[in-house]
Chains A and B, each alone.
Chain A
Amino acid sequence: MKSILFRLTAGVASAALLAGAAQADTLRLLTWGGYAPDNVIAKFEEETGHKVEVTMSNNEEMIAKLRATGGGGFDLAQPSQDRIEGPQKEFGIYKPLDMSQIKTELFTPSMLEATKKNSTVDGEIYAVPHIWGTSGLIVNTAEADGVKDYTDLCDPSLEGKVSYRLKRPTLIGFAFSMGLDPFEAYGDEAAYTEIMEQVEQKLIECKPVVKTYWSGGDELLNLVRSGEVVAAMAWDTGGWKLNSDNADINFVAPTSGALGWIDTFVLPAKGKSDQAAYDYINFVMQPEIAAMITESAGNFTASKGADEFASDELKAQYQGSFPAEAVDNIKWYPPVPAGLEAIEGGILDRVKAAQ
């Protein structure tokens, strides 16, 4: 009995050691679907000798995963820039970047500065930008030409043909569309609650028009492609993807402004191979590699000069959706202060429950 137990412990211990050794140059990457396409990973592994394990996720899940392990389990993560300051202050799940390890000349300067500013906590920089994009409206112009802004999704003539997510971008978008400024009220919980309560009223009033609240990107694309939904709130890339199949459908920047996000690179607090993480950041920010990622994700990157490599179709679709004034009108998400999610959560739950 004793010897079995002994062997068992010895086995577990050596397995743990082996696992520890193997992780030395394995990059465990926590990212979004499409951000780490196979051809880019293969090239990176070939050039640097690091191995990459990709886990796909979204903002909330990334933070929940890192929070559950205190920032362990991954070496590089890609949350949006508005989700860095709050979670870092509250849960301490990231570690500061060593900017000397990052080739900053590869980045578009304005975007790098903005992200650095938004992700600075106690004087330390926590993030650099990677991919940016917007959310706005996907409209089937043949059937719902009148949809120009978020609140147009409440038009009773579209009953049963509208879909949006029941998440914070919807609350923010509707607030702007109703002439309110939620970003202005970020620091003031009472004012923010008041704005959100007005949005709640509006969303409950609009509920009969909605077919369903979508939750996954593919689900929405299917709904629009099949013609069951003619107007929706979604990401620009989804609209452009549909536009390639059906010219009537396109992404429309709402008159109150599309909502802009930047997904970043951050180091989780207990990441084990920082070197591989820095190598990866410097690798994917090279213009040719960034263009490969744009091809796969559909969104543009913060890499300087990568736009030249983007496909003409994507460039044309981008220009179609974003005339110059629409670009200036993009509302970039400021960092979300800790605690706002609880207010929004209550609102979203009540909208969902409303009859």
Chain B
Amino acid sequence: MAASARLGFILLLMPLLLWLTLLIIIPHVDMLMLSLRERVGVGEYETSIANYKTVLTEPLYMRTFMRTAVMSILATLITLLIAFPVSYYIAKMVRGRARSVLFLLCLIPFWVSELVRTFGWMILLRETGVISQFLQWSGLVSGPVEMLYNDAAIMTGLVYTSMLFMVVPLVTTLDSLDDAVIEAGYDLGGSGWSVMREIVIPHAVPGIVSGCIVVFMLSLGNYLTPTMLGGKDSLWFTEMIYSQFIVRFNWELGAAFGFMLLFASSFIIWAMLRLTGQTLERTMG
């Protein structure tokens, strides 16, 4: 009996194990080996840490790396600032049908692909685009305005792309907060701000943290948005990985870049959890 239960357990676990080994562990081990290889001649390779040395010593790569991390953190914070009031409104202020409609409105942009959404922003922001023409028509500016191809455009795109992934966890956690608790806060003489600070936000922390993790990961790994909206100054780490692999045939350096990105995202998330005093189990479970 015990033996067959054990067998059943193993078989049930099999799909997960296969998934993890075949799609995650084996490719990563392969990448790691690749990143520890150096090309010494035509078709000849040697084991070395030269690729990591290149990443760390070439100021350009480190700068791009830092820039990607900082901009992703910034994008996460901006997303949080915009998404929190929206989620609070959806979860606490409206009821019934209006609530589903509002939630649906947040979802609708995600029915089209990311590429199309990014194109939408390009149509709005470009020199001959909708906003520029409206400004000229209304007489606010005299000539065409270029709003594309800069960091602000990248940031707008990133925030827009990841908004939903912040709203959903926030609405869920805020929803689980009993209205009576908020009322009690006011009854005890709390102001709007102190209720928010002492009751709502502490309750929402797991939702905030899990939303931030998802948004941060999405921004850090985003390729389309920075490349398309950033133009000539769009330096993004994933773009560098792509070009090493595809354009330069330099898989070794590309693999090293990939591992740097993995370490960086793991480290930043670990630091974020430590700072907020959360654990992965609490935020994700």
A90-B42, A345-B250 given; A352·B231 CB < 8 A = no
Instruction: Kindly state the separation between the CA atoms of A349 and B246 in the bound complex, as whole angstroms.
Output: 14
| Interface-facing stretch out of A10-18, A56-64, A142-150, A274-282 | A56-64
A160-B146, A228-B127, A353-B63 given; A213·B231 CB < 8 A = yes
Please indicate the chain B residues that have their CB under 8 angstroms from the CB of A339 in the complex.
39, 42
Q: Is the CB of A60 within 8 A of B146?
A: no
Residue A22 lies at the interface, judged by CB distance under 8 Å to chain B: no
Instruction: Kindly state the separation between the CA atoms of A348 and B60 in the bound complex, as whole angstroms.
Output: 11
Please indicate the chain B residues that have their CB under 8 angstroms from the CB of A345 in the complex.
243-244, 247-248, 250
Q: Is the CB of B231 within 8 A of A353?
A: no
Residue B126 lies at the interface, judged by CB distance under 8 Å to chain A: yes
Closest CB of chain A to B241's CB: distance in Å? 12
Residue B64 lies at the interface, judged by CB distance under 8 Å to chain A: yes
Closest CB of chain B to A30's CB: distance in Å? 14
Q: Is the CB of B244 within 8 A of A64?
A: no
Please indicate the chain A residues that have their CB under 8 angstroms from the CB of B42 in the complex.
89-90, 338-339
Residue A7 lies at the interface, judged by CB distance under 8 Å to chain B: no
Instruction: Kindly state the separation between the CA atoms of A243 and B68 in the bound complex, as whole angstroms.
Output: 40
Among residues of B, the one whose C-beta sits closest to the C-beta of A227 is B128
| Docked complex: A190-207 residues within 8 A CB-CB of B | 207
Residue B94 lies at the interface, judged by CB distance under 8 Å to chain A: no
Residue A212 lies at the interface, judged by CB distance under 8 Å to chain B: yes
Q: Is the CB of A211 within 8 A of B243?
A: no
Closest CB of chain A to B22's CB: distance in Å? 14
Give the interface residue-count category, chain A. 35 or more
**Of residues B58, B126, B246, B247, which shows the largest number of chain A Cβ atoms within 10 Å of its Cβ?**
B247
Please indicate the chain A residues that have their CB under 8 angstroms from the CB of B244 in the complex.
345
What's the A-B contact tally at a CB cutoff of 8 Å? Answer: 73
Write out, one digit per residue, whether chain A residues 63-92 have a CB within 8 A of any chain B CB (1) or not (0). Answer: 110010000000000000000000101111
Please indicate the chain B residues that have their CB under 8 angstroms from the CB of A105 in the complex.
none
Main secondary structure of the interface of B (DSSP, over half): helix
Residue B227 lies at the interface, judged by CB distance under 8 Å to chain A: yes
Q: Is the CB of B128 within 8 A of A228?
A: yes
Residue B80 lies at the interface, judged by CB distance under 8 Å to chain A: no
Residue A226 lies at the interface, judged by CB distance under 8 Å to chain B: yes
Residue B202 lies at the interface, judged by CB distance under 8 Å to chain A: no
Residue A342 lies at the interface, judged by CB distance under 8 Å to chain B: yes
Write out, one digit per residue, whether chain B residues 213-246 have a CB within 8 A of any chain A CB (1) or not (0). Answer: 0000000000000010001110100001001111
Residue A215 lies at the interface, judged by CB distance under 8 Å to chain B: yes
Residue B43 lies at the interface, judged by CB distance under 8 Å to chain A: yes
Closest CB of chain B to A188's CB: distance in Å? 16
Q: Is the CB of B240 within 8 A of A64?
A: no
Among residues of A, the one whose C-beta sits closest to the C-beta of B227 is A215
Please indicate the chain B residues that have their CB under 8 angstroms from the CB of A338 in the complex.
42
Give the interface residue-count category, chain B. 20 to 34
Residue A270 lies at the interface, judged by CB distance under 8 Å to chain B: no
Instruction: Kindly state the separation between the CA atoms of A339 and B127 in the bound complex, as whole angstroms.
Output: 40
Q: Is the CB of B235 within 8 A of A353?
A: yes
Please indicate the chain A residues that have their CB under 8 angstroms from the CB of B251 in the complex.
67
Residue B121 lies at the interface, judged by CB distance under 8 Å to chain A: no
Closest CB of chain A to B163's CB: distance in Å? 26
Among residues of B, the one whose C-beta sits closest to the C-beta of A349 is B60
Closest CB of chain B to A264's CB: distance in Å? 18
Among residues of B, the one whose C-beta sits closest to the C-beta of A350 is B60
| Docked complex: A1-46 residues within 8 A CB-CB of B | 1
CB < 8 Å neighbour of B11 from A1, A87, A349: A1
Instruction: Kindly state the separation between the CA atoms of A227 and B246 in the bound complex, as whole angstroms.
Output: 32
Residue B249 lies at the interface, judged by CB distance under 8 Å to chain A: yes
CB < 8 Å neighbour of B149 from A60, A87, A211: A211
Among residues of B, the one whose C-beta sits closest to the C-beta of A229 is B127
A1-B11, A90-B43, A228-B126 given; A341·B248 CB < 8 A = yes
Closest CB of chain A to B233's CB: distance in Å? 8
Instruction: Kindly state the separation between the CA atoms of A228 and B143 in the bound complex, as whole angstroms.
Output: 12
Q: Is the CB of A349 within 8 A of B43?
A: no
Q: Is the CB of A64 within 8 A of B245?
A: yes
Instruction: Kindly state the separation between the CA atoms of A150 and B260 in the bound complex, as whole angstroms.
Output: 37
| Docked complex: B36-79 residues within 8 A CB-CB of A | 39, 42-43, 58, 60-61, 63-64
Residue A210 lies at the interface, judged by CB distance under 8 Å to chain B: yes
Instruction: Kindly state the separation between the CA atoms of A212 and B231 in the bound complex, as whole angstroms.
Output: 5
Residue A304 lies at the interface, judged by CB distance under 8 Å to chain B: no
Q: Is the CB of B235 within 8 A of A352?
A: yes
**Of residues B8, B63, B127, B251, which shows the largest number of chain A Cβ atoms within 10 Å of its Cβ?**
B127
Please indicate the chain B residues that have their CB under 8 angstroms from the CB of A91 in the complex.
43
Among residues of A, the one whose C-beta sits closest to the C-beta of B244 is A345
Residue A167 lies at the interface, judged by CB distance under 8 Å to chain B: yes
Please indicate the chain B residues that have their CB under 8 angstroms from the CB of A341 in the complex.
247-250
A-B contact pairs, 9 of them (CB 8 A): A90-B43, A92-B43, A207-B232, A215-B227, A227-B128, A338-B42, A341-B250, A346-B58, A352-B233
Other than the given A91-B43, A211-B149, 7 more pairs (CB < 8 A) read A1-B8, A90-B43, A160-B146, A213-B232, A341-B247, A344-B248, A345-B248
- Top 6 closest A-B pairs, CB basis? A212-B231, A345-B248, A226-B128, A64-B246, A60-B247, A228-B127
